[in-house]
Amino acid sequence: MDFLFGNIVHGLAVAMTPANLGLCLIGCVLGTLIGVLPGLGPTATVAMLMPVTFRLEPTGALIMMAGVFYGSQYGGSTTAILVNLPGESSSVVTCLDGYAMARQGRAGAALAIAALASLFAGTVTTFLIAWAGPAIASVALQFQSPDYVAVMVLGLVAAVVLAHGSVLKAVAMILLGIFLGLIGTDVSTSEQRFTFGLDTLFDGIGFVPLSMGLFGLAEIMFNLEGGGEANRTRVAIDRLWPTRQDFREATPAAIRGTLLGCFLGVLPGGGSTIPSFAAYSLEKKLARDPSRFGHGAVEGVAGPEAANNAGAQACFIPMLSLGIPPNAVMALMVGAMMIHGIQPGPQIIQKQPDLFWGLVASMWIGNAMLIVLNLPLIWIWVKLLEVPYRFLFPAVIVLCGIGVYSIDNRLSDVVLMAFFGVFGYGLRKLDCEPAPLLLGFILGPLIEENFRRSLMLSGGDPSVFVTRPISLGFLTVSAVLLAAVLLPAFQQRREQWSEES
Amino acid sequence: MTTRLNLRFNQDTLSGALCVAVAVVGLVAGHSLDMGTAAEMGPGYVPRLLCLGLLGMGLLIALLGLRSPGARPTPVAWRPLLVITGAVLVFAASLERLGLALAVILAVVIASLATPGARAREIVTAALMLAIAVVLIFVTGLGLPVPVLPALDR
Amino acid sequence: MFLSLKRVPLRESFSALTRIALSGVAIATVALVPTWVAAQAFPSQPVSLVVPWPAGGGSDISMRLLADGASHRMGVPVVVVNKPGAGGTVGLKDVAQSRPDGYTLAMLATGALFAQYNNPAANPISDFELIAFFGDDPAALTVSAKTGFKTVADFIAAAKAAPGRIRNGNDQPGGTSHVTASLLEKALGVRLIKVPYAGFAPTVQALLAGELDSTTVGVPDVLQHHQAGTVRMLGVAATERHFLAPDVPTFREQGIDFVSGTWRVIVGPRGIPADRLAILESRLLETMNDVEFKAKARAAGFIVAPLGRSDTARRLAAEDAAMYPVFLEAGLVKTRQK
């Protein structure tokens, strides 16, 4: 413990130099901004910052880049709550209850809960990185392909749980999402699948055009039905701050979300998306009255928001202690280190103590800055909702367009977004939920890749999935969870039928 | 008559039909993909399994929908659907040719037509302000590599 | 510079004159001459360097370093634009279709050589003007410490004892490390299970997790784990030892002629005027031969070995001749046959 304390003090000394504090602030402000702007994600921003980092001292550069990354997790929930626009894959589930809260005039409370849950998760995870980073990373090294398959199957089962309508339709939406995910170049054979000769589809459909079309554009089309303001009943905004009741419900959810986020965030490819979906499903399963979910349940905001922030910071563990970047932003940070001649990897804590502990300490300082920055902003965001919708929606459309374009500088992505806007509108008409579709889209290709690899390595023997303890464990949990969802649904159906006959 | 129509065109039968349609497209388009073996799966293995699953799911949903007719989908509001889609497509078509500023103005003006009773002066003012803000944030601030104005001399 | 004036097309000098007129600069003063020259000289506006890979990878970092250095040499900003997609073919296609005015360049790497045979949408290398060669990122044969292999000979012996049993992790078929592994199989006369992963990071992770026995990724990707002793680099596929890992012998030192890895070339669309090509070539070579630049690139883990236009063409032809049979044998040649 002494060792930890000494290191944290050392790290604080590094992070508290005026230059590093300034860089941390710049990173957090920028992160909040780009998190709020739909589409423009931390990856694009950190990439744009790369040239600046040439001139900076490496620790400062990394502190700033990290600030952009976790800052965007705070900002990302803002558009999700205000206009049903998930800027990041990790804020898709925040749309479900956050936006519902906003429609009930509780946007302020939703934003505050999201920010506080994020702060809590950020603080806990920072200490976790400091205390047990390398140990946690070595757990992640136990994971092999069959185990990833099992974890992701659990994720898909979670998608069924998070649906609030028909279970059958949710399963169908997951399958549809997996199908969309399979479009593009097959990782295992480099063969084109379902690209119909279109260059645009060679790398598959991007997550951002898909989600912004399904959620953002479809929502606007839906709101404009019947012309103008009619469908967006203005709700008086009663109070900005959450009630005591809100806090009571949100606190345990935030704690569970944090733990889930820390654990799942460490896994390569996990990042912050899977944790947020998993946290939402967990909350819904634990809730005494699951029917509140989707209609403005506070836990549905607190759990996923804590989980995605914890996941975002837990990503630093494999990056710092193994040199293995679990996502694109971490890859950029590895790049920034390489430019300065630092090879990230298992020896970084010994070789670059200033950088490691300074970065860890700055995350905690950055989280504190973010909360100071974000709480007063809530007032401004809520005011934004009072802008007449006829001005708001064209602005959202334009921001979506630029945001989608900025990812890869590709116009075809903007066209894809328009297509998925129409598709999403159609799904809404049919009462099909887009959230399970998105999760299938994210997880499907990963499952396929790992599934094929598992069988390739086992020589076609499917028993690998049950002989490895990690895989067996996750599959058992999935089966139990699935049974818990399906049985009531079938019972209901049976009762319905017996009533009919 | 209406009940029969309800039966056929309720949300469930249509969702089921959508799944069946996608599955059929997948099976036909993926026809030439190699299946491979369990130990060395080809690119067609998973897609085919998936499409069969989707086909089954779609049929099940559609049949259950026929048994117990659910709600009919509310009518499609064509105006916002077409106008919003058009605004995004015009934005895409003009961004690299006419530059960010004009693309934003065009998109905002077109999108505003999605609602009846839009006031011209209001729209133009909003479009100009948004164009300025967007250029300042994305090009000046974040350095997005995109032209701001039409390239006249190139 | 003055020589370059002669061949500037009329249209461009006209537009430059209009620009001057519009800006209201008085004509017929002595001061005009340098202004006019500046407007005429190439380059007079920012040059974009398209990197057809996402930001953050080796290609992106090396090109950002180069763009940073070249900006000083050229006197105009050189801006890196990431246009990733379809294994690098999307960004290259954009550049191939851009105006050949020398203001749009691209980085072309090993994968493009493969893509022209496999991807119907990819541009053949002949669609580009080769301007300068940046350098090589040699691959290394790396094994998990658990295997107990100490030398390439150990590896060969084990692979021969159990053909098709040693697990070797790679990127997608046709990707750099996959091609390297295929070339390695030929050079060593062995057969491996080539397991595809989506990139180098998951491959290294799987090697550490014990899912793989070996991999053929670049030296910087495995360096720290090699130093920590969890994995072991058996041989570097280069003509000399890698400066980051001077303890690892090359394949040639171990009696096997095997050189492979990623190389990077700066290209532009076909049809750039010769005078502009010459300016770009010399500015880029000056940048890469700069002592300070070399030191910076070295610190970041890159070997800079600049080559001019004709040498680059020769080098690429040699690579093509070596790799084509491998693609053919692996059944990866789908579109253009040679």
Which burial class, exposed, middle or buried, applies to C36 when counting CB atoms under 10 A from its CB (0-12, 13-18, 19+)?
A: middle
Domain borders along chain B are 2-67, 78-141
Interface test with B, best of A179, A186, A194, A232 (most B CBs within 10 A): A179
**CB-based contact B46 A452, cutoff 8 Å:** yes
Residues in B touching C48 (Cβ below 8 Å): 145
Q: Which of C224, C254, C284 is the last residue of a domain?
A: C254
- The H helix count followed by the E strand count for chain C is 13, 10
- Same-domain status, C205 and C278: no
Q: Is residue A496 part of a domain?
A: no
Looking at residue A285, its amino acid is K
- The H helix count followed by the E strand count for chain B is 6, 0
Q: Is any Cβ of chain A less than 8 angstroms from the Cβ of C121?
A: yes
Token reading at A443: 């997880």
Give the model's confidence band at A236: pLDDT under 50 very low, under 70 low, under 90 confident, else very high.
low
Residues in B touching C79 (Cβ below 8 Å): 145
Does residue C124 surpass a pLDDT of 50? yes
Tell me, what's the pLDDT at B75?
A: 87
Work out the minimum CA distance from C287 to partner chain B, whole angstroms: 24
Does residue C6 surpass a pLDDT of 50? no
Q: Is any Cβ of chain B less than 8 angstroms from the Cβ of C15?
A: yes
Residues in C touching A356 (Cβ below 8 Å): none
Residues 6 or more apart in contact with residue A38 via CB below 8 angstroms: A79, A85, A87, A212, A216, A396, A399, A400, A403
Q: Is any Cβ of chain A less than 8 angstroms from the Cβ of C88?
A: no
Nearest chain A residue to C88 by CA: give it: A203
Q: Is any Cβ of chain A less than 8 angstroms from the Cβ of C228?
A: yes
Report how many Cβ contacts below 8 Å link chain B to chain C. Answer: 9
Tally of CB atoms within 10 A around A9: 11
**CB-based contact C220 A343, cutoff 8 Å:** yes
Nearest chain B residue to C50 by CA: give it: B145
Instruction: For residue A85, give the nearest of A205, A207, A223, A211 by alpha carbon.
Output: A211
Work out the minimum CA distance from B74 to partner chain A, whole angstroms: 6
What CATH number does the domain containing C231 carry?
Answer: 3.40.190.10
**CB-based contact B145 C19, cutoff 8 Å:** no
- Same-domain status, C232 and C163: yes
Work out the minimum CA distance from A430 to partner chain C, whole angstroms: 34
Total count of residues recorded for chain B: 154
- Same-domain status, C244 and C151: yes
Read off the pLDDT of each residue in C136-164 and give the average, rounded to a whole number: 93
Does residue A230 surpass a pLDDT of 70? no
3-state secondary structure of C124: coil
- Same-domain status, C93 and C159: no
**CB-based contact B68 A500, cutoff 8 Å:** yes
Tell me, what's the pLDDT at C267?
A: 96
A348, B112, C3, C46, C100 from C274: Cα distances, Å: 48, 50, 12, 19, 11
Does residue B1 surpass a pLDDT of 50? no
Give the model's confidence band at A3: pLDDT under 50 very low, under 70 low, under 90 confident, else very high.
low
**CB-based contact C90 A409, cutoff 8 Å:** no
Does residue B15 surpass a pLDDT of 50? yes
Alpha-carbon distance of A13 to A64, in angstroms, equals 16
Q: Is residue C233 part of a domain?
A: yes
- State the DSSP H helix or E strand holding residue A400, giving kind and residue range, or none if neither: helix A389-408
If one compares B55 and C20, the residue with the highest pLDDT of the two is B55
**CB-based contact B145 C81, cutoff 8 Å:** yes
Give the one of B68, B92, B126 whose C-beta lies nearest to A496's C-beta.
Answer: B68
Q: Mean pLDDT over all residues of chain B?
A: 87
Most confident of A265-274, A455-464, B101-110, C24-33: B101-110
Tell me, what's the pLDDT at B151?
A: 67
**CB-based contact B88 A418, cutoff 8 Å:** yes
Give the model's confidence band at A496: pLDDT under 50 very low, under 70 low, under 90 confident, else very high.
low
Place of tokens 């659910």: B70
Most confident of A266-270, A283-287, C29-33: A283-287
If one compares C182 and C265, the residue with the highest pLDDT of the two is C265
Residues 6 or more apart in contact with residue A497 via CB below 8 angstroms: none
Domain count, chain C: 2
**CB-based contact B153 C79, cutoff 8 Å:** no
**CB-based contact B154 C79, cutoff 8 Å:** no
Nearest chain C residue to B143 by CA: give it: C79
| Chain segment A440-461, per-residue pLDDT in tens | 898 888 899 899 999 999 988 9
SS3 of A368-399: the string is HHHHHHHHHHHHHHHHHCCCCHHHHHHHHHHH
Instruction: For residue B60, give the nearest of A425, A424, A493 by alpha carbon.
Output: A493
Does residue C19 surpass a pLDDT of 70? no
Work out the minimum CA distance from B89 to partner chain A, whole angstroms: 6
Residues in A touching B22 (Cβ below 8 Å): 176, 179
Does residue C7 surpass a pLDDT of 60? no
Does residue A30 surpass a pLDDT of 60? yes
Q: Is residue C158 part of a domain?
A: yes
Tell me, what's the pLDDT at A499?
A: 60
Instruction: For residue C203, give the nearest of C192, C193, C214, C189 by alpha carbon.
Output: C214
**CB-based contact B153 C18, cutoff 8 Å:** yes
All chains having 3 or more CB pairs closer than 8 angstroms to chain C: A, B
Nearest chain B residue to A422 by CA: give it: B81
Nearest chain A residue to B110 by CA: give it: A394
Give the model's confidence band at B86: pLDDT under 50 very low, under 70 low, under 90 confident, else very high.
very high
Tell me, what's the pLDDT at A1?
A: 54
| Chain segment B22-40, per-residue pLDDT in tens | 999 999 998 888 888 888 8
Give the one of A202, A341, A344 whose C-beta lies nearest to C300's C-beta.
Answer: A341
Using a pLDDT cut of 70, give the percent of chain B over it: 91
Give every strand in the sheet of C47-51, ordered side by side. C78-82, C47-51, C104-109, C261-269, C128-138
What CATH number does the domain containing C323 carry?
Answer: 3.40.190.150
Work out the minimum CA distance from A436 to partner chain B, whole angstroms: 14
If one compares C50 and A160, the residue with the highest pLDDT of the two is C50
Read off the pLDDT of each residue in A94-123 and give the average, rounded to a whole number: 90
Looking at residue C264, its amino acid is R
Q: Mean pLDDT over all residues of chain C?
A: 83
Residue C177 · residue C139 · CB < 8 Å: yes
The residue range of the domain holding A54 is 2-491
Instruction: For residue A435, give the nearest of B58, A275, A427 by alpha carbon.
Output: A427
Residue B15 · residue A430 · CB < 8 Å: yes
Read off the pLDDT of each residue in C200-210 and give the average, rounded to a whole number: 87
| Chain segment C28-79, per-residue pLDDT in tens | 333 344 444 444 588 888 899 999 887 777 888 899 999 999 999 999 889 8
The residue range of the domain holding C221 is 140-254
Task: Name which of A221-230, A252-261, A273-282, B11-20 the model is least confident about.
Answer: A221-230
ipTM for the predicted complex = 0.93
Residues in C touching B154 (Cβ below 8 Å): 99, 101
Does residue A269 surpass a pLDDT of 70? no
Tell me, what's the pLDDT at B82?
A: 95
Read off the pLDDT of each residue in B43-62 and give the average, rounded to a whole number: 94
**CB-based contact A175 B41, cutoff 8 Å:** no
Alpha-carbon distance of A113 to A239, in angstroms, equals 13
Nearest chain B residue to C80 by CA: give it: B145
Using a pLDDT cut of 90, give the percent of chain A over it: 25
Instruction: For residue B46, give the nearest of C1, C52, A445 by alpha carbon.
Output: A445
Tell me, what's the pLDDT at B90?
A: 96
Contacts with B, C 180-199, CB within 8 Å: none
Read off the pLDDT of each residue in A233-253 and give the average, rounded to a whole number: 78
Tell me, what's the pLDDT at C37?
A: 43
Q: Which of C254, C274, C296 is the last residue of a domain?
A: C254
Give the one of A186, A395, A406 whose C-beta lies nearest to B43's C-beta.
Answer: A186
Using a pLDDT cut of 90, give the percent of chain B over it: 52
Q: Is residue A501 part of a domain?
A: no
- Same-domain status, C274 and C323: yes
Read off the pLDDT of each residue in A403-412 and give the average, rounded to a whole number: 84
Q: Which of C254, C272, C304 is the last residue of a domain?
A: C254
Work out the minimum CA distance from A153 to partner chain B, whole angstroms: 14
Work out the minimum CA distance from C15 to partner chain B, whole angstroms: 6
Give the model's confidence band at B152: pLDDT under 50 very low, under 70 low, under 90 confident, else very high.
low
Helix, strand, coil % over all residues of chain B, rounded to 5: 70, 0, 30
Residue A317 · residue A136 · CB < 8 Å: yes
Tell me, what's the pLDDT at A234?
A: 53
